[in-house]
Amino acid sequence: MKLFTGAILLICLAFGQAWVDKWERLNVTLTQLAEEMKHNATLRQMWLDHLKHFEEKETRAFPHPFRCHLDLLPHETPDSVHELRMEDFKVIGAMGDSLTAANGAKALTVIGVLTEYRGVAWSIGGDGSLDSGSVTLANLLRKYNPNIRGYSVGSGSVTSSGSHLNVAHPGDTAHDMPAQADLLIQRIKADHHINFQQDWKLVTMFIGGNDLCDVCHTPDKHSPANYINNIKIALDKLHAGLPRTFVNLAMIFDITPVASLGHNNFFCNVVHGMVCDCGQDKQHHAIVQANLVEYQRLTQELIDSGRYDNGRNDFTVVLQPFYRDTVPPHKDNGGHDLSYFAPDCFHFSTKGHQVAAVSIFNNMVEPVGHKNTKWHLNEPYLCPGQHQHHVNDFIPTYKNHKAHVVGK
């Protein structure tokens, strides 16, 4: 144990500091741990052994080819959001936290989990192409419209040049969504290559993990009422500020199984203890899951209210529920398949981002009322106009969904 004393002491010191920002605390701790590893051969070997659990994450090829028809017939750009096809999107944006910033997605070092690999982010990453094996929602849409704008590339923070319309920020909660909405609108308006009034925009919002990770400490701040109110304010801002916009609102998942992946794992315990101890500690699971149920119920209630389908025909919000019942994947032997996660056992690896990308694309194709509520693991792409419930290739919304369901 003497070999690890220095590292553990450094971590304990960081825990004891009155850091305001948990991400700053994590940054300091992992930097200290990385420095300790330079002088501690046993700790370095522990890290190398740890990485073996994640080695399959470098196998990126999605098992199913993209076979949706791309012989797109010319058609006029629709005026109604309820008559949109995939090829009509000319702009893509995203809001959220570290899962949309793609923290640690390609990490191979301790400090690498702090890097934001925005180019591979599930909902907006634009590195490579679908044909090269880079599966993201943006790259899927580029099969329909190669000229779509806004996708993020490379790595860096929200202020980096490659972030573009990916305004997600690690550590953010629902409280930060109104400000992110303002920033996104500002960036879209500032891009002179975008026809602000005429171009159809796709915005994906996914938030709530950090709310749940902190709810045992500040239950009032992260109450279900505050959670949904902040989402409503952000969506209201998008509604008021963006013409011709389709919003994907991805439902939050239960973070307790993910935060529990690090049990009996030195490196993952360090991260989980700092960024999500409410999910890591089983004594807090009841309060976390109780709030989760309310977050999900109120989110469904808000969208079902029709608030974003009244008064205008060029804006809608569709709830995409593929995360709702998602749990960490398992191997055939029953153990967790960590290849879908970064080496912190918390964020997604590129492989995890790929599955999330396929899942939200498929959710967008699935009609309202017939959407999968779990990751589409090892499942093929669903194709607009070719799905079993489709009678046309319009993207399903709450207003047009009856036309998508055969027999309705």
Q: What is the DSSP letter of 170?
A: T
- Across the range 68-94, mean pLDDT stands at 90
Q: Which residue has 């998008």 as its token pair?
A: 238
User: Which H/E stretch holds residue 318?
Assistant: strand 315-320
Q: What is the pLDDT of residue 387?
A: 64
pLDDT of residue 61: 44
**211: annotated active-site residue:** yes
Q: Which of 222, 336, 347, 390 is catalytic?
A: 347
Q: Is 160 a catalytic residue?
A: no
For residue 243, what are its two tokens? 């013409």
pLDDT in tens, 207-221: 999 999 999 999 999
Q: Which one from 88, 97, 172, 211 is the annotated catalytic residue? A: 211
Task: Tell me the C-alpha distance between 195 and 38, whole Å.
Answer: 52
- Cα separation, 306 vs 291, in Å, equals 24
Query: Cβ contacts of residue 17 below 8 Å, gap of 6+?
Result: 25, 28
Residue 202: inside a domain: yes
Look up the domain containing 303 and give its range.
Answer: 88-404
Count each helix (H run) and each strand (E run) in the chain, helices first: 13, 4
95 domain residue, yes or no: yes
12 has a pLDDT exceeding 60: no
The one catalytic residue in 98, 134, 152, 349 is: 98
> How many CA atoms are closer than 13 Å to the CA of 350, on its beta-carbon side?
25
Please answer whether residues 128 and 241 qualify as being in contact, where contact means their C-beta atoms are separated by less than 8 angstroms: no
pLDDT in tens, 198-254: 999 999 999 999 999 999 999 999 999 999 999 999 999 999 999 999 999 999 999
**Is 26 domain-assigned?**
no
Q: Is residue 374 part of a domain?
A: yes
Burial 290-303 (b: 16+ CB within 10 A, else e): ebbeebbebbeebb
Q: Is residue 79 part of a domain?
A: no
Answer whether residue 18 shows pLDDT above 50: no
CATH value at residue 385: 3.40.50.1110
**Side-by-side strand order, sheet with 200-206:** 89-96, 200-206, 245-250, 315-320
Residue 13: pLDDT band (50, 70, 90) is very low
Give the least confident one: 50-59, 71-80, 154-163, 295-304. Answer: 50-59
* Active-site residue, 347 included: yes
What total of structural domains would you count in the chain? 1
| DSSP secondary structure string for all residues of 214-259 | HTTT-TTTT-HHHHHHHHHHHHHHHHHH-SSEEEEEEPP---HHHH
- Give the pLDDT score at 203: 98
Residue 35 lies in a domain: no
pLDDT, position 248: 98
Q: How is residue 369 annotated by DSSP? A: T
107, two tokens = 């990490």
Distances (CA, A) of 224 to 93, 221, 259, 299: 26, 9, 20, 9
Is residue 42 in some structural domain? no
Average pLDDT, the chain: 88
Whether residue 274 contacts residue 26, with contact meaning beta carbons closer than 8 Å, is answered with yes
Is 236 contained in some domain?
Answer: yes
Q: Which tokens hold the place of 50?
A: 């740890």
Tokens of 148: 């779509």
